[in-house]
Amino acid sequence: MAIPAIAKGETKMSIWGKTADGTPVPIYTLTSGQIEVRVMAYGAHLVSVKAPDRTGKMADVVLGYDSLATYLITPNPYLGAIVGRYGNRIAGGKFTLDGKTYQVPLNEPTNALHGGPKGFDQYVWQSHEVPDGVEFTLVSPDGDMGFPGTLTAKVRYTLTGGTLRIDYSATTDKPTVLNLTNHAYYNLHGDDAGNVLDQRIEINADRFTPVNKSLIPTGELAPVAGTPVDFLKPEAIGARIDADNEQLKIAGGYDFNWVVNSKPGTLRVAAVVTDPVSGRKLTVETTEPGVQFYSGNFLTGAFTGRHGVKYEKHAGFCLETQHFPDSPNHPDFPSTVLRPGETMHSTTTLTFGVVK
């Protein structure tokens, strides 16, 4: 069955529930002629994406929960969340900016992950509809999780045909560091249909950033050639995941940052994933310098998703378009510093299609 022709998009809002302090949480349903997307104001989460297989059968291809209440439980695996102020890891939670050292509270034994114990994923963002979608805004005060400067962050989701576009922007009143990304977990079989190990991934990157035993980059930009992290040609996620490789053993699978080929700041393909069973295809494009491919190694079944399915190890994969982990402590990495008078802009697109 052919994918339906593109129809005029529609956005609908309802209140999904309230936080513990009584704050209402709007959820928005974005529809086109091809896919349906749900996003909510709590954590600016991407809650679901319903996309057709090669026969036209729809399934949710993003892991998520049936109720707001489950999203409110912490800690959690960040399903679909916007993470910040600094997505990914900062070693020791410490960084120095303009000669001053800042400390972010640790939420891993030796690292601050995704902005610390209360990151952007745990706030109700302000929201309003825009053409073809919705824009979320969060004002993070000076000193929030130890980060300097009052930061105003905006995340805009817009849907056209089979493409969900995520536009990020931010301004600050003091020099700060910033790394925003979306932490959706994808399963092109469907969110209730087993693991992702047979899905085939291609990553447009000749290099990656190897990590130490704390999952912090060593500073090297290492070639992928001849290693199990070479996805320049499509390969099943599970084909080499248990290879005798030090990096894979450290991470328990894939959990690394790849250096996307071509010029940062230009929208180019970062990764393509296909499911040979359903025919579904996901193409990720970004202006960011890197993409974190994570194979769901730390999912344990502790959280029950839609359809009563427990999300076990490798139930989903993430493609987090980003600046590199721990960049504030690596002067040779692309800078994540944002200064007053500047505006950070970043775009990522997620295109859902099919292959025969």
Q: Which residues are catalytic?
A: 183, 320
Count of C-beta atoms within a 10 Å radius of residue 107: 18
Which CATH architecture does the domain made up of 10-354 adopt? Distorted Sandwich (2.70)
Q: Give strand pairing partners of 223.
A: 207
Average pLDDT of the residues of the chain = 96
pLDDT digits (tens, 9 = 90+) for 295-345: 999 999 999 999 899 999 999 999 999 999 999 999 999 999 999 999 999
What percent of the chain is predicted at pLDDT more than 90? 96
pLDDT digits (tens, 9 = 90+) for 80-128: 999 999 999 999 999 999 999 999 999 999 999 999 999 999 999 999 9
Please tell me the number of Cα atoms within 13 Å of 173 on its side-chain side. 8
At position 148, the amino acid (one-letter code) is P
Q: Which helix (H) or strand (E) holds 353?
A: strand 344-354
Count of C-beta atoms within a 10 Å radius of residue 249: 12
Rounded CA-CA distance 342/71 in Å is 33
How many helices (H) does the chain have, and how many strands (E)? 2, 27
pLDDT digits (tens, 9 = 90+) for 200-227: 999 999 999 999 999 999 999 999 999 9
Please tell me the number of Cα atoms within 13 Å of 78 on its side-chain side. 26
